Amino acid sequence: MHKRSMNYGTSQNPNNRAPYAKKVIAVTSGKGGVGKSTVAVNLSVALAQEGYEVGLLDADVYGPNIPRMLQVANEKLQWNDNDKMIPSRNFGIKIMSVALTTPRSDTPLVWRSSVAVSALIQFLEDVEWGELDFLIIDMPPGTGDVQLTMAQELPISAAVLVTTPQDVACDDVSRAIMMFKETKVPIGGIIENMSYFIAPDTKKRYDIFGNGGGKNLSKIYSVPFLGEIPLNMKIREFSDTGKPPVAMGEEEIKNYYKKIVGKLLEGSSDSIV
C-alpha cells in the first residue's frame, strides 16, 4: 500500500483525494431512516444508465447497506497486483463499502471517528476506481466528522440532501443545509423521500409523514427541489432483494429517479456536467 498523506485540507481549500473522478456528489441526510442509501444507489445506477462511468462509495461506515442493495453483500474484498482494492461491480457501477471488509454481515464496527475517517480516506486513495465521471458518496446521517472530512478532502461538486416531509426530518436536514453552506459545498438540491403513499386498491393518496416539507426547505434556503419519491412497497422490496428499482422496477418507479437525475444535471450545469 502506498504511503498516504494525512495532511488534511480545509473546507475553504480542500484536498483532492479523488483526482480520478471528474465530479463528486455527496448524498446525505439530517437524520437516519429517511431512505438516503436507497436514493444514493438509484441515482448512481440512473447516471450509469445515461452512459456515465460511476463509482459509489458507501461512507456510512456504521450502517453500510449499499452492498445488500446491489447484490454484492456476499463478495469479499480483493486486492490487485498494484496493492489496490478492487471495487465490486453490478448494475453498471463500481462499489466499495466497509461491509465488504468484515468477516460477517453482522460484524459491528466499534470505531472511533478518527479510525472511520482514516478508513474512508483509504477507500478514496487505495481503491482501483479507474477513471470516473461521477463518484457518488453515500454519507452517514447528520453533521459530524465524516461530512466535515469529506468537505475538506474532496472538491465536492454537489451535496444532495434527502428528507421525508416530517417536521423532525426537515429540522435535521436544515442543519445539514447550513453545514454545507458554511463549508462552501454547493448544494445540488433536496429530494423528498417517502413523500406520500398511494393505496393500491383505492388509488387514494395519503400524506403519512406530512406534506410539503422538502419544498418548504428549498424555498427557505434557496436551494433546488429535485423531486418527490413516494412510500412504495415495491421500492422497498426491490431494495431489500438487491434489485435497484431504477433498473428493475416498472417505468413509473424508474421515472422517479430518472427525473431527479435529469434535474440534478440540468440545474447544476456549471458544477455538475
Q: What is the pLDDT of residues 17-61, one digit of tens each?
A: 999 999 999 999 988 889 999 999 999 999 999 999 999 999 998
Architecture in CATH for domain 21-59+131-267: 3-Layer(aba) Sandwich (3.40)
Q: Which single residue is written with the C-alpha cell 427541489?
A: 225
Contacts of 106 (CB under 8 A, 6+ apart): none
For helices 36-49 and 251-267, angle between their N-to-C axes, nearest 10 degrees = 80
R_g of the chain, CA atoms, integer Å: 18
| Cell of residue 99, nine digits | 461491509
Mean pLDDT calculated for residue range 250-265: 96
| Cell of residue 122, nine digits | 483509504
Instruction: Give pLDDT, residue 271.
Output: 45
Look at residue 131 and give its three-state secondary structure: coil
In angstroms, the CA 74 to CA 99 distance is 10
Sign of CA pseudo-dihedral 85, 86, 90, 92: positive
Q: Where are the alpha helices (DSSP H) in 89-189?
A: 113-125, 145-153, 167-182
User: Would you say residue 5 has pLDDT above 70?
Assistant: no
| Cell of residue 153, nine digits | 478532502
**For the chain, domain boundaries:** 21-59+131-267
